[in-house]
Amino acid sequence: MKRLLLLLCIFLSLASAGTVTKIYGQASSAYPFQFKTFSYSDSSSIHIDLRLPFVKNSRFSASSGTEPSLNIRKELIGVLLGEKYINMPPQQAIDRFGHDKYDSVLTSYNLEGEFSTVNEHFLTYEVDRFASYAGAAHGIYGKRVYLFDVKTGQRLHQHDIFKQSEAFRQTIIEHITDKEDIWISSVKLNDNFDITPDGTVVYYYNPYEIACFARGIVEVSIPIKTLVSRGLLVPDSPVVKYFAEKLVTADKKEAILNEMAKKLLQEIMDEDLAEMELQVLETKVISKGLYSNEYAGVGIVRMAGVKRLKVLFDMILDKASSYYYIQIPSEEVWKLIIESDEWSDF
């Protein structure tokens, strides 16, 4: 009798809320940084604009104890301006660099840096640089891209993401759209690449790297799916983690969602309906529409180690936060209580 009353109390408390809800994981799209642009101009020849990250939430800190945006800022200042500027505040570093950069034969110098791809796993930072000197036939320009791990702020190199092999080099050569005037033997894995949000790896070769100056910057675009199919990605890199959902087949995605639903449903049974001694045996979720972020689900549960019951639920992806929710309607909870063996003792 006491257990029955407890079950009724559980039901009444859940019914007042309408549903039993369980949330999966953390909000993966809760991006941890904000950005600020630092500029310098001497009104004549030197112009600098660098956009740098700062942490916006103290809970995002590297496991080493170093705040990740600080690591990124120091790395960028070091490679773009020089090691001696690393420990200066950003504006002071850029002002000092601009002053030190002045040269009577330098007719123009432009340095611009901006984040091109931003997500919860990795960042790519694109730098454009131009310099011209008195008496030179033409200016010198180029593009450089740097990748960073969001969680640690550490720089990522090509060996962290791609398997360094002749097969990878040949894949790059294969995707050069116009090979005329390209110095094929000079095509190297130069660690100068971007990764776009739609899953394209873009390698950049600056003038004189693999072609003459007149050819300009050579861009080589490779779909990341091609690298996956050829086994050229390093497992568990931040890039693989970000594109994992986009790269899995429909069957694998269904299996992942079913496993996720089973885990969440069991957590509800253990935490909110523990008195019923329910074990989730299997779950099945089906999308409610082609472009829907909601799934209709059914779970098979075993009560007190004997009776098998069916439970209907909804699984919802909140696209704004990347949370998965499971909701069990209160009427389904009521059905479980009715089926409970405790009613036979009433």
As a whole-number percent, the residues of the chain with pLDDT over 90 amount to 41
CA angle, corner 148, sides to 248 and 168, nearest 5? Answer: 55
Q: How far apart are the first and last CA of the chain?
A: 6
Q: What is the DSSP string of 258-302?
A: HHHHHHHHHHHHHHTSGGG-EEEEEEEEEESSTT-SEEEEEEEEE
List, in order of start, the domains of the chain with CATH numbers: 2-26+250-345 (no CATH), 33-247 (3.30.565.40)
Between 337 and 90, the more confident residue is 90
The whole-model pTM stands at 0.63
The partner residues of 326 in beta bridges, in order of sequence, read: 22, 315
How far is Cα 47 from Cα 38, in angstroms, rounded to an integer?
Answer: 11
pLDDT at 133: 80
pLDDT, one tens digit per residue, over 154-211 is 999 999 999 999 999 999 999 999 988 999 999 999 999 999 888 899 999 999 999 9
Q: What are phi and psi of 183, to 5 degrees?
A: -85, 85
How far is Cα 148 from Cα 155, in angstroms, rounded to an integer?
Answer: 4
Is there a contact between 228 and 242 (Cβ–Cβ < 8 Å)?
no
Which tokens hold the place of 173?
A: 């050569």
pLDDT, one tens digit per residue, over 94-113 is 999 988 887 767 788 999 99
Between 296 and 103, the more confident residue is 296
- 119-158 in b/e form (b: 16+ CB < 10 A) is bbbbbbbbbebebbeeeeeeeebbbbbbbbbbbbbbbbeb
